[in-house]
Structures are given as C-alpha cells and as structure tokens.
Chain A
Amino acid sequence: MKKISILMGSVLLSAGLSAPAMARDNISIVGSSTVYPFAIVVAERFGKSTDFKTPKIEATGSGGGMKLFCSGLGVNTPDITNSSRRIKQSEFDSCRANGVTDVIEVLIGYDGIAIANSVDAEQFDMSTKDLFNALAAEVPNPDGSETLVANPYQKWSDINPDFPDKRIEVMGPPPTSGTRDAFVELAMEGGCSAFDFIKAMEKSDKNKFKTVCHTMREDGAFIEAGENDNLIVQKLEANPDALGIFGFSFLEQNSDKVQSSIIDGFEADFDSIADGDYAISRPLYFYVKAQHVGTVPGIEEYLAEFTRESAWGEDGYLTEKGMIPLDDDLRDEVGDAVANLKPLESLD
C-alpha cells in the first residue's frame, strides 16, 4: 500500500504543480441551457471567422453558471455566463465579495414559452386564467366564493364549456428547469393575478400569494416530462389530446408537428413575442467578466460577433435559431454599452 500511495501522490503532485502556470487560450462560457443553442452558433462562427480558438460552452443552467462565474477571478473560472433571467442581487453581491467587480451585462433578446398541442388536434384559445385553473394545485372555489379549494377540474370543459370535453393533460418541465421557473412566474402568476382576492394577497401575505400561484397540481393532470423538450414534442405527436410546455425554438423547429395555443389572444410567434403581446416570454442575458478582457484572448471579439447586426439583428442568424431580437433602440443602447465594456454598477 505504501508503494501505491507514493505513486498516487507523486502523480497528483506533479499534475497539480504544473497546472497553475497554465494560461487559457480559449474563452470559457457556462450557464443557461436556454441560451446555449444561441451561444454555440455565435461561438462556432467566431471560431471559424477569426484566428481565436472556438469558445468552450457548458450548459450548467442559469443558477449553476452564475455560481461558477462569481466564484472568483483567474483562468480556472469562466469568463462568461449565460442566463435566462437577470442576475439576482444575492448573486451580484457574491460576485463582488469574490473580487468579480466588473461585470458587463448583455441583454441579447427574448425567448417565448409555448403551450402547444399536436397539429392533428384543435388549437386551444385560452387565457392565462384558464391555464391557472387547469394547472394550479389550489384554485378559487368554482361556486364563486373567495376561498381556495383543491383543483376540482378534471376536463377542459369543466373550466370553460367552449373547451373540448377531454381530460386535462399537460406535459411540462421539472422544477430544476429554467423553463419551469419562467412558466410559473409568467403564466401561472399572470393567471392567478386575474382573481382579485388572490391579487390582494400579494400585498397582505406575500408568501401565501407565492405558494398559491406557484404550486402546480400533482394529481396527474400536470405531468413532469423531464428536461428534454424533444421528448415532449414526440409525446404530443403520439397523443393529440395532450398539451406541452417548452421553449419557442422547439416550437419553430417542429412547426409541422405541433401548433401553439392562443394565450390571451395571441399565438406564440415571432412578432407577438417581440412586441411583448404574448404573455409568456422572458429576456435572455449573458454576463461578462470585464477583468478577464486582455487576460483571455478573444473576449472583445466574441462580444463584437454576438452584437453584430447579422447575428442578433432582425434578420440575423440567431433569429433563425428561434431567438426573438430586441427592438432597434434597445439594441443600439446595449450594443454601445458592450462596445465600451461598461460594467454593471448596481441592479436597479
């Protein structure tokens, strides 16, 4: 055993001693799996059209990415993190505490969350209120009194007589997914705010409001179908009675198989999300460690590639992948801040 431990120790030691001296010549990117498909397109183009190495991109999820990003400075920490939500105050503080003081925030566009069913079935036309009634664990009593009861609706026609006489069956992402967070915040909270007495709760009892609005039912009507959006699309194809919740880019790529439902009068499409008419859409960001510019080669050039009109513009290649661009003014504003490497001062 002594021999082994000496051997093992020497291997580790030699590897460990030689490591810190190493510099990194490729950009390291972590973060949201929603932004991942857009980031890899930019990274690939950047690698092909310049002499820099292609950046390495890990899909760790928004929260996981932020944690790695804020863990400190140096070649062993990522240079950029993607996020499908804005940085939180707590994350911003932890970044500062670890010496990551100059963070550039880049808002790149929007992503919609689609509620879709098979093209063989009839298209749904509902409000976020209906969606809340269909999917929440507790809903307002159907008799009209201002009390909450365990969700009694089993069929769509129970909620609204115009809806089909079919069992409620909705497949969506699990709680670990950013898509689920966004769906709960935008669609469910939007839906429950349509009831005045629940909305009043937001002021009186914020925790209760969150619990009521954010808890999905667990009696089989809402099915957690895993992180893989492709799987949900396949299941919708096989089962025309079911609805599915997934990212807009998957809707676009499978437009011959699934159709978006109309939510509050708008279908999830390019224009309705860009105009802000479609209720369930979220902003996409990435954050750059300005202190690494100059240490790791190519960061500025990568930013330039991302914020080029032919990338994030109206007709850019990112829109072909399903990202919804910012409007012209906002794009100019963000583009300027990026070009000047202007760090984020505070979250206001």
Chain B
Amino acid sequence: MTEPTSGESNVNESNSSQPDPSSGGDNAVSSTSVTQRRDTTELVKATLARRYAAEKRFRWYGIIAIGASLAFLLVLLTSIFIKGWPAFTHSYVKLNVSLDADSLDVAENPTDKQIRAANFSGVIKKSLRERFPDVKKRKAKKELYQLISGSGEYLLSDKVRANPELIGQTIDVWFPADDELASLLKSGDDLSDPDSIVTRMSHQQIGFAKALLDAGETQTRFNKTFFTSGNSAEPEQAGIKAALVGSALTLLVTFLLSFPIAVAAAIYLEEFAPQNRWTDLVEVNINNLAAVPSIVFGLLGLAVFINYFQLPRSAPIVGGIVLSLMTLPTIIIASRAALKSVPPSIREAGRGLGASDQQVVWHHVLPLAMPGIMTGTIIGLAQALGETAPLLMIGMVAFIVDIPQGFTDAATVLPVQVFLWADMPERAFVEKTSAAIIVLLGFLILMNAIAVLLRKKFERRW
C-alpha cells in the first residue's frame, strides 16, 4: 500500500494529467512503482469525497436512530404525563350538613354499630336539596345527587364514628366530587357555555357545578385517596396502595428466594465447578431459562405451587416464587460476570497467605464482586416488577380493595392494576391508568438509579 505522505505529494501532478485508470490497470506488469502509486492515489482521490460522505452519512444514521428512539420515548412519556397528571388532584365540594339524630335515624347516644347503620346518604342528599332549594322534580334531584361521590357517606360515617359528639351539630364538610364533576372542574372549561363542553353531564348539572364554583364551594387539591386506598369500582375512590403493597410483598419474596440461590449457584459454577460436560449443560440451561417466555413460568406456578402444593391463589407468596424462577437466570448470569471480573491474583494471594478456598470466596472475592451482583439483582427485580403475564395464571389479576396484610392474602401488583384500569368503562379511569403507569415508571427509574449508583460508588477497576 502507498504511504500517505508520498500519495499526497502526487496529488498535484495527477490533477493536471488525468491518466486513464483502466490503462494503468492493463499495463500493471510493465508499469513502474511511480505510476502504480499515482494510480492508487488517483483512485483514493476519486473516491475520497464519496468516502467522507459515507462516513458522514454513517454518523447521521446513528444520530437519526437515537433521535427517533428519543422522539418515541418523548411522545410516549408526554402522552402518559398529560393524561395521568389530573389523577393526582381531585375536586371537592363543600356542603353544610346537619347531623341531627332524626335525619340520621339513630337513637340518643347511639352505639358504634347504630352509627354505622345510620342514614348518612340521606343526610347528604338533604343538604344538597337545601343548597339548591329550587330543585323539585324527581329527575333533577337525581341529577343533583350524582354530583357527590358515593364514598361521601362512608367519609361522613367515619367522621361521626370517630367523634360521636358531632351528632346534633351542623358542620361544613368537604366531600369528594363524583368523577364526572371532578373532570369538569379540573378541565377549567368555561361553564357558562354548556354547549361547548364535551361531557356526559346534563346542562342542569353543569348549572349546579357553575353555582358551586362561583360560590367558592369547590376546591381542587392533592388526591390523597389515590395513594391510601385499594381498587374501587368508582374512579374517584380508586387508589394504588393495595397494588403497591402487593408489589412490595411479591418482590420481597422474589428477592429472598432468588438472591441467595442465584449467588450460591454463581459462586459454585464460577469458583468450584470442574469444567466438564455437566457444567456446560448447566450453563446452557441457565442461558436458555433466561429466554423462556414468562407465561410458561405462570403455568408452572399454577400446576406446581397452586394445584400440587395447595398454596392459596392470588397470593404474593406464589407470585414471588414464580417471579423468582424468572429472575434467577438473570441474577446468576450477572453474578457470574461479576465474579469473573475479580482478578485471579486476589485469589492466589489469599491462598498464598494460607486462606482456605471458602475463606478466599467469603473474605475477598464475594465482597469485591458484590456491587456487580447487586446491580444484576436490582435489574432482575425491576424486570419482575413490570411482569404481568405469569401472574395472570396464578390469579393475581383480581379486584382487590383491602390492603394485603401478609404473604398469603389476596393481592395484585402495579402493572396488573394498569391492565385492569385500562379496561374499565368509566372515562375517569383513563387518567388513573396513566397515573398508575407514572408511579410504576417512577419505581423502575428509582431501582435502576440505585443500580447505577451502587456500581458507580463501589465498583473497582483493575
């Protein structure tokens, strides 16, 4: 090949002479090294612009690919955030309720049980009628009652049960608005022009809403219910706490099972196992296991843990076991890579000082590999957190209101909650769905951030 310097010196000459490159090729045997060099330079020169352009294009392909994926991500995230943001606030309506024993239908000094059976919904309806005394027709009254969430009576009941002296008093209470009213108030539309608003509410209901809004008797504030309650058939009462706790319990089982097993397996395979056909077979199987579709683990869970071992359906313990089968290969592979990256000199030095194999592993190799193992574990758990398919088979796709108290209580998990809400007819569940996705994404980002931090802080390069 021609040296670049001599090639450059020939550029000027060849510029003017313009020899035919094909003739140079034909006379290759007889031509001198100078002409040969010139030909090559010519060739290079002729293609140089094209090569630079190709180089540039190649870089642009990369930039376009990154740009496209970022754009997709941006579109996805913005649409989720725009849809989901309203779910973090809710509108409340102030009503003046008179809790006299007559309307509540309770005796003097009622017991807790009597208060529970009291007619709180009647009291709320009465105060709504008093707020809008002009409403007389049955249909109009029905529309009026729809403004307040069905949870209002339970809220009032809890208030009075906590403080029975309230009976006989007249108090101001902020009631959560019904989902339709809340969407209307949160949208910020101009209520004086009902025809321009897209809503299922009637003109009369919009009129009620406007009167309440103008009198300052509505308020939009942070939606605490979303974080403190379980699922509900009513969007304004639905929350993700049950799913969050379910996810936490399931992941705890997954971690407790998969971490020790995976690390033990990795240490044995990496530090002690002889290199033979059997260990090769095990290795291939572990890699295969990582590629098995997750629904298969769900079927296994159903057949083995529920049908054979008689573990309860829909319980985090079964979910955790199934998900740990799924995360095991991920953690084993990551742990083996981490162990492999600890230089052999550490082991040799340890043994040289008289440490046993076990001591070398426990005192030196494992601590040095730990950041890598932890990173792998967290990434495996993050995968498990987003998994839905295997849980379908073991009954964790369920309507759960009560917050699960233990590993055998019926529970559901965050991605399943997203799936369930996406299928509900009420419009307000759209924003709940996106809000649940935001919470799930938040946890995934948090877990991945911890993984990155651990690696940054503790990883040692040799």
Q: Hey, which bits of chain A sit against chain B, CB under 8 A? A: 1, 3-4, 7-8, 11-12, 15-16, 19-20, 22, 24, 26, 28, 30, 33, 36-37, 39-41, 43-44, 47-49, 53-54, 56-59, 75-76, 227-230, 247, 249-250, 252-257, 317, 321-322
Contact = CB atoms under 8 A, between A and B. Distances in A.
Contact of B264 (A4, A36, A53, A255): A4
Interface stretch (B167-175, B382-390, B425-433): B425-433
A261 B80 CA distance: 33
Nearest to B231: A40
B134 to A, nearest CB: 23
B402 A12 contact: no
A3 B269 CA distance: 12
Given A15-B317, A257-B198, 4 more contacts: A12-B309, A59-B398, A76-B312, A321-B233
Given A1-B282, A37-B233, A58 B268 contact: no
9 contacts: A1-B282, A4-B264, A15-B321, A36-B399, A56-B400, A76-B312, A229-B425, A256-B199, A256-B200
A324 to B, nearest CB: 15
Nearest to B420: A59
B452 interface: no
Contact of B426 (A4, A39, A48, A253): A253
Interface in B285-320: 305-306, 308-314, 317
A43 B401 contact: yes
Contacts of A16: 305, 308-311
B232 interface: yes
A26 B399 contact: no
B311 A15 contact: yes
B350 to A, nearest CB: 22
B412 to A, nearest CB: 9
The 3 nearest A-B residue pairs measured at CB: A16-B309, A54-B401, A57-B399
B312 A7 contact: no
B400 A322 contact: no
A322 B313 CA distance: 30
A256 B198 contact: yes
Contact of B200 (A56, A76, A227, A255): A255
Nearest to A315: B142
Contacts of A7: 260-261, 264
B317 A249 contact: no
B154 A48 contact: yes
A4 B260 CA distance: 9
A238 to B, nearest CB: 14
Contacts of B323: none
A230 B423 contact: yes
A290 B313 CA distance: 20
B310 A227 contact: no
A126 B232 CA distance: 38
A92 B311 CA distance: 26
A254 B427 contact: yes
A333 B356 CA distance: 81
Contacts of A59: 397-399, 420
A19 B305 CA distance: 10
A7 B230 CA distance: 35
B257 interface: yes
B424 A37 contact: yes
Nearest to A24: B312
Contact of A249 (B230, B306, B425, B430): B425
Contacts of A24: 312
B422 A58 contact: no
A56 B230 CA distance: 12
B147 interface: no
Contacts of B268: 1, 3-4
A27 to B, nearest CB: 10
B120 to A, nearest CB: 11
Contact of B310 (A20, A317, A322): A20
A15 B257 contact: no
A44 B232 contact: yes
Interface residues of B, number: 46
B193 to A, nearest CB: 16
Nearest to B268: A1
A40 B399 contact: yes
A253 B310 contact: no
B261 A322 contact: no
A15 B309 contact: yes
Given A12-B309, A47-B402, A253 B199 contact: no
Contacts of B397: 58-59
Nearest to B273: A1
B395 interface: yes
A254 B161 CA distance: 38
A58 B310 contact: no
A253 B427 contact: yes
A11 B308 CA distance: 15
Nearest to B399: A57
A118 to B, nearest CB: 12
B410 interface: yes
B312 A19 contact: yes
B261 A41 contact: no
Contact of A40 (B150, B233, B402, B422): B233
B236 to A, nearest CB: 13
Contacts of A254: 200, 425, 427
A47 B257 CA distance: 34
A16 B422 CA distance: 35
Nearest to A36: B399
Nearest to A74: B310
Interface string B115-135: 010000000000000000000
B265 interface: yes
Interface string B237-278: 000000000000000000001001100110010000000000
Query: Most chain-A CB neighbours within 10 Å: which of B232, B317, B395, B398?
Result: B398
Contacts of B313: 28, 76
B426 A41 contact: no
Contacts of A53: 402
A76 B310 contact: yes
A228 B423 contact: yes
A41 B425 contact: no
A57 B314 CA distance: 10
A15 B401 CA distance: 26
Contacts of B402: 26, 47, 53-54
B261 A4 contact: yes
Contacts of A43: 399, 401
Contacts of B310: 16, 19-20, 76
A58 B398 contact: yes
B96 interface: no
B395 A58 contact: yes
B230 to A, nearest CB: 8
B423 A253 contact: no
Interface string B8-30: 00000000000000000000000
Given A22-B312, A228-B422, A256-B199, A47 B317 contact: no
Query: Most chain-B CB neighbours within 10 Å: which of A7, A12, A41?
Result: A12
Contacts of B282: 1
Contact of B314 (A58, A257, A322): A58
A56 B422 CA distance: 19
A56 B410 contact: yes
Contacts of B40: none
